[in-house]
Amino acid sequence: MIGYLTLGLLGLLGLSIPVGIVLFLLGFGIDVFASPFPLIKGLGNQVWSTSNNATLIAIPFFVLLGEILVRSGIATKTYAALDRWVSWLPGGLVHANIATATMFSATSGSSVATAATVATVAMPQAEKLGYDPKLFSGAIAAGGTLGIMIPPSINLIVYGFLTQTSIPRLFLAGLLPGILLALAFMAITILICSIWPKLGGQRRIFTARQMFRALIDLGPIILIFGAIIGSIYQGWATPTEAAAVGVAGALVIAATFGEMSRSMMMQSLLGTIKITSMIMLVVLGASFLNFTLAAAGLGRELETFLGDLGLSAFGTILVVVAIYIVLGFFIETLSLMVVTIPIIVPLVVAQGYDPIWFGILMIVLIEMALITPPVGLNLYVVQGARKSGTMSEVMIGTIPYVFVMLAMVAALIAFPNIALFLPDALSR
């Protein structure tokens, strides 16, 4: 069944059918061909019970927060401020791409939104200052992936919802690996641009006065991040409520800087409706597919398959990593998560692994899928913002950062405390 399901998934995606619809069609197919029971009768209950969960209310709030930050100009000011602090490094403005993506990730919760924001702001600078288009655009695509690792993260919320795992602990677990990934991205950029200086373009040095004055423009992002994370860990708000706190803070800041307008709010709300509708269609379709998969016994089939391999716990993790890398080439990231989590996570936990740790490991693999062709969403987002050149340039530019992510996967497997240190420390 696994083989037929994979072929069906790839075939339907190849027809350019929306991912959410594909998941529903696969569920209907399993109902017709692989189940003796009329599973379609459970469709209404599955859709209602999934959509009627308060945890998922955080998704439109975080999307709206990102839309407000982009359309109010706060993201542009953040980029300019970080440019003054990191452009003296080998690689110049490439580091501002990564640093801005890191800062924006701490509020947006979405990789695609992060990549789109940084690409829109940064691409005109690349053309004007003569940067290598491959490395410059690749750094934006890779930096954008941090949006689903550094809290608050929509994907971590979905993972916590599907696995009934503590979302605040997941947020804590993602913080250190996210920061380490950002630093590793900058380190590989320094290495590349030290060997081939022409790739890094012009290094710019600003005065101390200019650098410290730029810190004022970092204030809004820092305040919003502090409000969101602080309210969660002080026990004042749940992750869903904290998302609303972040939106309120963004509105206050936009009004303070004179960027509030009817047009800005309408565009932000419209963008939020579009993105949230796409996410929820995928989540609902995956919920029905997971229901039909469980009823058809796929979980038992996969468990038997892995058991017959006779692998140790470590061997099982390596197989799971390989599965995610391969599937990440072909399946959109949120779909990949919601389809595989109900099947894979119980098997991994049964081997004695911590579900919080595995959630972070999965997110790194999902991040990799965002920048690997042919379905890497960030590749298309960045290419769309470039409005020139070829997609292959963006793909080539992400290759060094893919190797960094593979190194992070290895580090998380070898040293689980990279993810578990903060949640364990604060729970004592």
Give the phi and the psi of residue 312 in degrees, each rounded to 5: -75, 175
Evaluate whether residue 156 is within a structural domain. Answer: yes
By three-state DSSP, how is residue 335 classified?
helix
Instruction: State pLDDT tens for residues 290-317.
Output: 777 767 766 667 667 776 777 788 998 9
- Average pLDDT estimate for 123-146: 82
pLDDT digits (tens, 9 = 90+) for 187-208: 999 999 888 888 877 777 788 8
- What pLDDT band is residue 399 in, cutting at 50, 70 and 90? very high
**Closest-CA residue to 27 (of 367, 342, 349, 324):** 342
| Residue percentage of the chain with pLDDT more than 70 | 89
The residue segments making up the domain with residue 206 are: 53-260+297-426
Orientation angle between helical segments 74-86 and 58-71, nearest 10 degrees: 70
Instruction: Identify whether 288 is part of a domain.
Output: no
Q: Is the pLDDT of residue 104 over 90?
A: no
Has residue 280 been placed in a domain?
no
Question: In Å, what is the CA distance from 394 to each residue of 5, 138, 389, 426?
Answer: 31, 5, 9, 40
| pLDDT (0 to 100) of residue 3 | 60
In a domain, 351, yes or no: yes
For residue 83, report the phi and psi dihedrals to the nearest 5 degrees: -55, -40
User: Model confidence at 34, in pLDDT bands (50, 70, 90)?
Assistant: low
> Is the CA virtual torsion 327, 165, 101, 57 positive or negative?
positive
| Confidence grade of residue 17 (pLDDT, cut at 50, 70, 90) | confident
Q: Which two tokens stand for residue 79?
A: 């980029």
- Residue 31 belongs to some domain of the structure: no
CA distance 134 to 140: 10
Q: At what angle do helices 167-195 and 417-426 cross, to 10 degrees?
A: 140
Give a yes or no: residue 292 inside a domain.
Answer: no
Q: How many domains does the chain have?
A: 1
Residue 287 has pLDDT above 90, yes or no: no
269 inside domain: no
Indicate if the pLDDT at residue 356 is higher than 80.
yes
Tell me: pLDDT of 144 over 80: yes
The span from the CA of 321 to the CA of 416, in Å, is 15
pLDDT digits (tens, 9 = 90+) for 223-259: 888 888 888 777 788 777 888 888 888 888 888 877 7
Q: Which comes out higher in pLDDT, residue 180 or 279? A: 180
Which tokens is 381 given? 């987002």
In a domain, 37, yes or no: no
State the Cα–Cα distance between residues 385 and 404, nearest whole angstrom: 24
Q: What is the pLDDT of residue 428?
A: 62
